[in-house]
Structure 1
Amino acid sequence: MPRKQTLREKIEQRIARKKGDDVFLTREFKALGGEDQVLRALRKLVDDGRLVRLGYGVYGRATISRLSGKPMLYSRDGFAGVARQALDKLGVQWEPTEAERAYNEGRSTQVPVNPVVKVKGRFSRQLRYRNTELVLER
């Protein structure tokens, strides 16, 4: 008789199937089990270096660094891209800041370094990865 999959294995499979997504919300796994069970499984995946916790109910895909051996965020767009993807998934309306628009349009040569977005409406969560935090403009 085949062995039943654990909740953790089911979550890992769902993450592996979503190739284009680098951000996962806890509510995406709600159908797999109870809230406490899902949170425990996600916490275990964070401990194992498969995911990185970015904020309340927001997790990012992770990979193990070859240099340090520690988990790091896995995204070609970096933390700024992952944070924007998380805002989209959370249903928050946002737009690039004026400084970023000026750089993209060629009106400025200053490259925006810190992840900053202009949020329309209410949003009070903090999204952060290590020492970098998403700055919200109103």
Structure 2
Amino acid sequence: MTAVDRVFQKIKRSRRYVFERKDFDGFASYDQIGRALRQLVKQGELIKLGYGLYTKARINSLTGRPMPTNPGGSDALMREILKMKGVDFEMDSLSLQSLSGESTQIPSSVQYSWNPKQFNRKLAVGNRVLNSPS
């Protein structure tokens, strides 16, 4: 079984949506894992979110381009990444009210804030970009 097959099998079996490169350390060498991940991104099975971060993908029937499979969309992916990295973050008040059911208004995008010393990366999911707050 090749490194690509092993990585792909782990991704398909997993309940998680976000993966780090280090999740596949025992499968092959560092370079082989990198090549396997690049190949899966090229095939449309993964989307690269940022340095060492990937998410499951499927092909969009309208555009023919890969899109995240997470049912919560890009905001759910961002929350999963921040939780996985152990970052203490806060969402804006309108988003919190919407998620808790206190408000029927749905914000166009969720705004996050956290300590940039804990997590200082740029993440991109399609057109949605999450930068560390200043």
Give the TM-score taking structure 1 as reference length.
0.84
What is the aligned counterpart of 1:32 among 22, 27, 34? 27
Q: Deviations over 1:80-103 (max 9, x none)?
A: 001111111122222322232244
Which one has a bigger Cα radius of gyration?
A: 1
Q: Secondary structure at the match of 1:41?
A: helix
Equivalence for 1:69? 64
The answer on 1:130 being equivalent to 2:126 is yes
Shift of residue 134, structure 1, vs aligned partner: 2.2
Distance (Å, rounded) in 1 between the aligned partners of 2:110 and 2:48 = 17
Equivalence for 1:56? 51
Equivalence for 1:9? 5
Gap regions ≥5 residues in structure 1: none
Give the TM-score taking structure 2 as reference length.
0.87
Amino acid at match of 1:82: L
Count of aligned pairs: 132
Higher deviation after alignment, 7-16 or 29-38: 29-38
Contact 1:115 1:133 in 2 (8 A): no
Q: Secondary structure at the match of 2:25?
A: helix
Distance (Å, rounded) in 1 between the aligned partners of 2:91 and 2:32 = 37
Contact 1:115 1:134 in 2 (8 A): no
The percent identity for this pair of structures is: 33
Shift of residue 33, structure 1, vs aligned partner: 1.5
The answer on 1:43 being equivalent to 2:38 is yes
Amino acid at match of 2:120: S
Shift of residue 119, structure 1, vs aligned partner: 1.5
Q: Deviations over 1:4-48 (max 9, x none)?
A: x00000001101110x21111111011112222111110110000
Query: 1:116 and 1:88, CA in 2 relative to 1: closer, same or farther beyond 3 A?
Result: same
